[in-house]
Structure 1
Amino acid sequence: MQANKHLLLFLFVLVSSVQYVSAQEDPITPLPIKAVKDTIVAPLLPPNILNDSIQVDSVTQDSSQGKKPLLLDKIKYKAKDYVRLSQKENKIYLYNEAEIYYQDTELKAGIIIMDYVKNEVYAGRIKDSTGTYTQLPYFKQGTNVVIPDSIRFNFDTQKALIWNSRTEQQAGAGSLGSDAMKVLAEITKKENDSVYFLESARLTTSKDTVDPDYYIKINKAKFVPGKKIIAGFSNMYLVDVPTPIALPFAYFPLTTGRTGGLIFPTFTQDPNRGFAVQNGGYYFPINDYVDFSILGDFFTNGSYGFRTQTIYTKRYRYRGNINFRYENQITSQKGFSDFSRSTLYNIQISHSQDPKASPNSRFSAQVNLGSSQYFTNSFNQINVQNTQNNNLSSSISYSKTFPEYPSVNVSLTATHNQNISSNAAPDADNITLTLPTLQASMERIFPFAKREGIKKGIIQNINFQYNLRAENRIRTNDEDFLTGRMFENAQIGARHTIPLNTNFKVAKYFSVSVGGNYEDVWTAQTFQRGLDPNDPDSNREVVLDTINGFDRYNRYGLSASVGTTLYGTFNFGEDKKIQTIRHVMRPSIGWGYTPSFEQFYDSYTDLNNEEVLFSRFEGTLNGAPSLNKSNSISFSVQNTLEAKVRDKDSTKLEPKKIKLLSNLNFSTAYNFEADSLKLAPIGFNGGTSILNNKMNINFSGSLDPYTIDNNGRRINTFNVSNGGSLLRLTRASMNLSYSLNNETFKKKNKDGEEDNESELNDEYRARSGGRTDDLFGFGLNDDTFNRSSKKNQDDIENPIYGTVIPWDLRMQFTTSYNNSNRQNEFGNTSLMFSGNISPSPRWSVRVSSGYDFKNKGFAQTQLGFQRNLKSFDLRFNWVPFGRNERWDFFIGISSSILQDLKWESRSQRIR
């Protein structure tokens, strides 16, 4: 009984204490907000999350229960609408623009639920007022980004389960955007930071990842971000339609930078060589500075070819490439009359040095040599414009500058020039080499003036230089090229030159220049001529003996010139359309004297007892000195003609300047020492631009004051004395080029600029020395002409132009006239043209052709079009007739990642 009394007393005191504590708290005043049931339902989440009415338990959970947390850093989280903590469920609810940050992991979504006992998060979408799902989860860990519909992620194990994930992976050297691989998977399991397992996935490079125009469907795959995707059965779909393109397993490399791999070939057919596999090979990235690729062609009749390319570069030092091409061509089959075998090769080397690498020395190389018929006969020549080349040229040089006064520049150069024209004789020496050429020059020295300051007068302006050119020249043909026989007729020589000059003013308006030139010529061999004394008198012939050994001669001359500048201005009034015409004329008179160097000449008596003069230096590298004395006066005049016209824009206060004649030049000479024909023909040349500088006109010619006899030889009789005109036009040439586009005839805005922001690009890549304006054709696989319009149309679903259709046109007209022997005939007269037009933003059409008016025939003609199919490119190019008749068709994925998914077909050149 006593114990019960004590128990009742204890309970009374306890209840009183609780009431006292409660009495000390402020009363809670409820907010006057009407409770409305939330209609937003997040997918993949429990339905009672947003309607949870469980009271928050005031008793703190025992921390000793449950597993020990493995979090290594603080978790930061926030949300726009609310953040709610449920201690009963051990979860935190974040709604609307929810964000969580933990170490290198970032998660954003419409709704996020975090279990802080299991260290897991669940993220999903929310619906807006229209019922559309928004705020898709954004999951980023390190550099990998995944955008799914919902995700479940554990901070401890770093594992995740992802539904309808979308991620973008850069691969190779591709650019951002459409050239990246997009990976879409219904279910993705993240095993760790570097391994994902995909189920029901799609791979595409299409910009539209929700409804791509193509994709590769895979059932299961292992995905290593930034490295690779290893997949099982893979099937290509076009617009959700399966295609026969399928593989039992597939490997997709995703490594950034350069990676080695196979280059998929093209399958073609040649009527003379059978079926072929072309342009297949392998790419080797040797290191960060050098790579190497090899491609091959194989025909069923035994013909084959291979091409190698090496590209190297080192920033701020040098860069270059080396290309080698070889072909073993077999036509027909052994035993047939038309069977033939030939080999072709071509070597191209390019090396350039950064000027900052070594300011006082420089090495460069531009090499293009090989078989003369390579560009015309190669069975893999897709750059048709190269077939129009007539020359191959090369140059390898090293130069060194010694900057101390007087500075000296020394260079060593090896050059190559090869005539590959079809008109060249088969046995002609069509290859010229210099192995090497040594050049040295010393800067100009003024011995009677200080190095700094202005030089005045005759004495202070006296200056001289020193120049050296030594050369080993070789002339050979294709058969002897790169053999020991090509050195048999090598010519070796050197030339030392010392020019001495001074200049001064006379009467303030006349510029006078006086000087002389001394030249010392060295040679390693000379030639002796004469009749063979061992032959009978009736059959004696002139023989040529080669004398090996050092020999030299010198020559010199004097010169002087005086010139001035005259200005003529014709004013018509400011109220006239043409207000002023300004004529600038620069006349010049020069004198030159060169003595006769008969001391370097010998003679022999021929069978007619006539004395024949010859020099032992005839036929050497630098030739022989002149036997004739020259004492001549030269005349020249340069003209330019400009005009000031009233601007069409009335707001402009200043008149507009235009050039009527960019230049118009005349020149001739009179030789006092000549026994006849003392007056040289008058040469002229000029040029101008018209039609708002869209058309360039250049012309040149020659006017002869003397007449000719019945044999076409000039005689010492003026043409006017023979009943003709004062001057006889003997030759002339003219070149007109015109370039225009759809913006040419538009009105200009107030700033004088055309309405468009940028003009179409008229320049295209040079092809082994060919032209860059498409007038000689374009590459059959060249898609650069469509890139300018393609860049701005990728995001247009159904692009249209309205009333503006971009186009451009280039034309060039060339003609020549010859009347040296009264033939009065025109030489080559041709019109070349090329143009592009885009009927719609995704279509591009191009043409290149020309017409020869003399031979009455078309030049090489090409037609081509390209269609941008969003993720695909479609091309067709056609040479409809001529020696290079062929066609080429291509359709394939635009992205470089999957560029081997293509279909290409081309014809071989019809011979």
Structure 2
Amino acid sequence: MAFQKPSHSVTKIHLKALRTNNFKILFALSFTVFINTFSFAQDIPNKEQKIERKVIEPTIIDRAEIQTDSLPSPEISEIKQDSTLTDSIKPKKDFLEHTVNYHAEDYSKFNQKEHKLYLYNQAKIVYGDMNIVAGDITIDYVKNTVYAKGITDSLGTYTQKPVFTQASNVIEPDSILFNTESKKALIYNTKTAQGEGTVISEITKKENDSVYFVKDAKYTTAQDLEDPDYYIKLRKAKIVPGKKIVTGFANIFIYDVPTPVALPFGFFPQSEKQTSGVIIPTFGEQSDRGYFLQNGGYYFAISDYIDLTLLGDYYTNGSYALRMESSYAKRYRYRGNFGFRYENLIMSERGFPDYANSTIYNLRWSHSQDSKANPSSRFSASVNLGSSQYYQLSNNQVNVSNRLNNTLSSSISYSKSFQGQPEVNYSVTATHSQNSQTEVINMTLPTFQGSVGRIYPFASKSGSKKGLIQNINLQYNLRAENRIQTTDSLFFKKEMWEDARAGFQHTIPLTTNFKLFKYFSVSAGTSYNEVWTFKTVNKYYDSVNEEEVEEDVDGFDSFRTYNFNTSMGTTVYGMFNFEKEGQDRKIKAIRHVMRPSVSYNINPAFDQYYDSYEVVDADGNTSANVEYSRFENSIFGQPNQTFSSSVSLNLSNNFEAKVRDKDSTATEAKKVVLLNNLNFSTAYNVAGDSLKWSPVRMTGGTQLFKNQLSINFGATLDPYALDSNNNRIEKFNIDNGGSLFRLTSGNLTASWALSNKGRTAAKDGLTDKNLDENLRGGGRDDDLFGVSEDFATQQMRDDKNQEEDETPTKFYHHKIPWSLRLAYAVNYSNSRRQNEISSHSLMFSGDIQLTDNWTIGASSGYDFKNLGFTPTQLRFERDLLSWRMNFSWTPFGDYKSWNFFIGIKSSILQDLKYEKRRQPDITL
């Protein structure tokens, strides 16, 4: 490739003399005679056929003969007659493959003697996919080279440095010498972005579009390229943009100071897509398990939709652990993640009295379906099951935030709806609940629920429903369940399935609603319930062994019940106005909304489903007659033995206030919520023989300080007194010398999120990865129980998305961002005159950013009942520009430990890290 020399004076057109080739003329004439001999004049040529060019010998033709031809003769173009167009010799390649565009602000000068073109000030040249922008560009047409450099202004500043762009590669050197024919270049003092890093080189040799060679170059991920805080010095390296960097001997420099951290050779992948690779483990020491390697393994980039991470831990005393993590996603369809963790824990040495060996595991799966994927069906999963003590005994630091969890729960569900009149829905769900303290596991494998939408048999054809008759509706519900209760030691063993219980429940509710006296809403209905079960019980008294015997009876059995209910409610609005003419009071008015309701329920007695057996003493006398229902172990309960008729009373309240707005430009008063809800409920058993009134249950809640403080409270008030044995008696407490109600229980919870940056900063100290790890383990969505200490996989944080609150100025001005989260809970019990605080605790966590780079945080709590601190975690974080340093410390308690980490933020160099930790001494 070469640049065409422009002319600044006149345009010269060189004409080439035409030369007659006798051989070609004779060949064309003979070819024409051959065609005319074997062709027909009236044949219409096919459009796809190529019309051969013909040279006709000039002859004198009579005009009359031309007019007798039925087809007009087409005009023959002279261009088509040119025999050179069918020449078998290929034409020479154009001097330039592409159009050359150039521009300069000050001048464009061509030196005919030197055959050079000079462009100065804001110079630009575009040729194909090559683009050079610089202050000074010189083009040499003899050597086919382009030399670009910057210019020096009046203050001596070097400006307008070249920017060389070819395809997707962008290079910003001090100067560049490019050969347009060989496509090779010498680049001086260049900074080339390669993936997440940048290569800084004094001299770079560009071999072609895809290969560069550098010497004594620097590779860094620092943001300040003029003075990088660290870099890897590459003595000799080969760069393939977008693919890889291969280097010889290289070592790390920190602020131009060499370190002994070196490699004899190195390979840096630069693929824009995720790639597979080795994950370097963390080493450390634990007092009871020896030295260890933790979280080492391999990452598999299976495809753009799914990946897989395999990790392992090994301790010198023989303990080991395996982890498998996988994430998958398909846009507009679904996303999820899967994880399995297994640990074999060995304590002490074999033969010692404190030797112990145990295995723990944990399985987690989360799947969510995009709402756009299928509007009529949905599949979701949230699984967290395994050993009950997994989070408490695990050695892995990633589980720190979930050590206080007492419950593991899972749910997998699929639902489908069929549009129509009526609508039909069904769902299949599998659930799991596991208590880590009692190690009791409750499962439903599966639960089937089906329903047919409401049917209005008496509705008008117009679709509107008015009155008692037209609002009569019925529907059908089916619930089938297979329930299993087992323990941690029998999980998924043969004994687990032996105690499984299954059943079906059919429900047909018939309801209606109407208005009464214009202001009251009345609803009434009845419900038919039928239960099928496949296992019942039989009880009898064994007089030989003098004991009651209960045995299971396999086989189908069923019972049917029904009930009646009606309710009436209304809404009452009250306004307390505090405004007076001529006064601008702060509180304008208080609005009170009351929603009272009363309901009446009748449940008939179904004593036909009850049996009895006699208890005979040693003398043969009947000492007792025990009644029981063979359905008492049914998963859907047993039918009522006695008739019940009860009235339920409910009252809900809402309080709001209108206050003067601080904004003087506001035209209306500001609305403030005083109480979100204040509810009272009780019941009266009309058919009961004693203790007809149920305790009054009071609940309430509100939010204060712009919703930063959330308060919820509740209490239970019993109207009946207690006897000397602390049992309820048929006597009101006020008649027994007490108050109207007796406080039997109470609870208060409050949570407060404070920050000097607003309420949205309550979780500033947490990353999305922290919260995901907490929630996937069944924990909280905050750091009150601590945060995960898996710093090695969390060091990369998107700092680019963090917006600065203020533009930096020359004047010193610094704010100290902070956030504080508080959770307070107290429970009071007095059902049997114990008059005690059953639980009383305060949990708190917070973060404070002392400087732009230093952040400290803490999570702890205090148990006022047991007078002790809850597990405490102190966190220190230092932002070292391209590096991040973390220190986490649990100073006391069962999980006393610390963890120190320092590593590079960039994911491409995340294996350049140092981590030291002291594991907690956990007793098996």
Q: Could you tell me the TM-score, scaled by structure 2's length?
A: 0.86
CA contact (8 A) 1:344 1:373 kept: yes
How big is the shift at 1:397?
A: 1.3
Match of 2:311 among 295, 302, 307: 295
How big is the shift at 1:452?
A: 5.6
Say yes or no: does 1:258 pair with 2:267. no
Equivalence for 1:37: none
Per-residue CA shift, 1:734-787, capped at 9, x if unaligned? 11122211156xxxxxxxxx9xx9886477514111111211111224669997
CA contact (8 A) 1:790 1:841 kept: no
Per-residue CA shift, 1:332-363, capped at 9, x if unaligned? 22222222111111111111222222222222
Aligned letter for 1:662? N
Gaps of 5+ in 1: 1-54, 171-179, 745-753
How big is the shift at 1:56?
A: 10
Equivalence for 1:635: 649
Equivalence for 2:243: 227
Equivalence for 1:851: 862
Question: Residues 388-787 of structure 1 correspond to what in structure 2 (within 5 A)?
Answer: 388-421=404-437, 424=438, 430-450=440-460, 453-532=463-542, 535-536=543-544, 539-574=545-580, 575=583, 576-607=585-616, 608-743=622-757, 761=764, 765-766=771-772, 767=774, 768-781=777-790
Gaps of 5+ in 2: 1-6, 17-91, 617-621
Distance in 2, Cα, partners of 1:784 & 1:799: 31
Match of 1:891 among 902, 916, 921: 902
CA contact (8 A) 1:56 1:86 kept: no
Aligned letter for 2:495? R
CA contact (8 A) 2:761 2:819 kept: no
Say yes or no: does 1:102 pair with 2:113. no
Question: Residues 206-285 of structure 1 correspond to what in structure 2 (within 5 A)?
Answer: 206-285=222-301
Task: Give SS of 1:287's match.
Answer: coil
Structure 1 pair 762/89, CA: closer, same or farther in 2 (3 Å)?
closer
Equivalence for 2:802: 791
Equivalence for 2:875: 864
Distance in 2, Cα, partners of 1:88 & 1:68: 27
Per-residue CA shift, 1:657-681, capped at 9, x if unaligned? 2122211111111111111101111
How big is the shift at 1:591?
A: 0.5
Structure 1 pair 201/154, CA: closer, same or farther in 2 (3 Å)?
same
Task: Give SS of 1:897's match.
Answer: helix
Structure 1 pair 763/709, CA: closer, same or farther in 2 (3 Å)?
farther
Distance in 1, Cα, partners of 2:12 & 2:203: 38
Per-residue CA shift, 1:594-624, capped at 9, x if unaligned? 0111000011111243211111111121221
Give % identity. Answer: 52
Distance in 1, Cα, partners of 2:909 & 2:396: 23
How big is the shift at 1:74?
A: 2.1
CA contact (8 A) 1:56 1:88 kept: no
Say yes or no: does 1:129 pair with 2:154. yes
How big is the shift at 1:110?
A: 1.3
CA contact (8 A) 1:71 1:156 kept: no
Distance in 2, Cα, partners of 1:692 & 1:792: 24
Of the structure 1 ranges 340-349 and 688-697, higher mean CA displacement relative to structure 2 is found in: 688-697
CA contact (8 A) 2:796 2:906 kept: no
Equivalence for 1:46: none
Equivalence for 2:334: 318
Distance in 2, Cα, partners of 1:800 & 1:891: 32
Say yes or no: does 1:811 pair with 2:819. no
Distance in 1, Cα, partners of 2:165 & 2:443: 63
CA contact (8 A) 2:795 2:903 kept: no
Equivalence for 1:114: 139
CA contact (8 A) 1:310 1:321 kept: yes
Distance in 2, Cα, partners of 1:295 & 1:623: 47
How big is the shift at 1:404?
A: 2.4
Distance in 1, Cα, partners of 2:809 & 2:251: 28
Of the structure 1 ranges 450-459 and 156-165, higher mean CA displacement relative to structure 2 is found in: 450-459
How big is the shift at 1:792?
A: 3.9
Count of equivalent residues: 825
Task: Give SS of 2:489's match.
Answer: coil
Distance in 2, Cα, partners of 1:347 & 1:738: 34
How big is the shift at 1:789?
A: 10
Structure 1 pair 285/788, CA: closer, same or farther in 2 (3 Å)?
closer
Aligned letter for 1:552? S
Distance in 2, Cα, partners of 1:763 & 1:785: 13
Distance in 1, Cα, partners of 2:376 & 2:9: 83
Aligned letter for 1:592? N
Distance in 1, Cα, partners of 2:93 & 2:504: 91
Per-residue CA shift, 1:251-310, capped at 9, x if unaligned? 111011110111111111111111111111111111222211101111111111111112
Distance in 2, Cα, partners of 1:356 & 1:904: 44
Distance in 2, Cα, partners of 1:894 & 1:498: 61
Task: Give SS of 2:908's match.
Answer: coil
Distance in 2, Cα, partners of 1:113 & 1:294: 56
Per-residue CA shift, 1:799-840, capped at 9, x if unaligned? 997353211111111101111111111110111111111111
Structure 1 pair 655/62, CA: closer, same or farther in 2 (3 Å)?
closer
Equivalence for 1:368: 384
Structure 1 pair 625/898, CA: closer, same or farther in 2 (3 Å)?
same
Task: Give SS of 1:88's match.
Answer: coil
Task: Give SS of 1:836's match.
Answer: strand
Structure 1 pair 562/788, CA: closer, same or farther in 2 (3 Å)?
farther
Task: Give SS of 1:382's match.
Answer: helix
Distance in 2, Cα, partners of 1:794 & 1:829: 40
Structure 1 pair 404/792, CA: closer, same or farther in 2 (3 Å)?
closer
Equivalence for 1:359: 375
Structure 1 pair 63/488, CA: closer, same or farther in 2 (3 Å)?
farther
CA contact (8 A) 1:313 1:320 kept: yes
Structure 1 pair 667/193, CA: closer, same or farther in 2 (3 Å)?
same
Distance in 2, Cα, partners of 1:732 & 1:522: 40
Equivalence for 1:835: 846
Distance in 2, Cα, partners of 1:56 & 1:725: 112
Structure 1 pair 266/759, CA: closer, same or farther in 2 (3 Å)?
closer
Of the structure 1 ranges 432-441 and 346-355, higher mean CA displacement relative to structure 2 is found in: 346-355
CA contact (8 A) 2:610 2:627 kept: yes
Equivalence for 2:75: none
Aligned letter for 2:575? T
CA contact (8 A) 2:397 2:789 kept: no
CA contact (8 A) 1:799 1:840 kept: no
Aligned letter for 2:217? A
Equivalence for 1:14: none
Task: Give SS of 2:865's match.
Answer: coil
Equivalence for 2:55: none
Match of 1:335 among 351, 362, 385: 351
CA contact (8 A) 1:793 1:842 kept: no
Distance in 2, Cα, partners of 1:665 & 1:201: 73
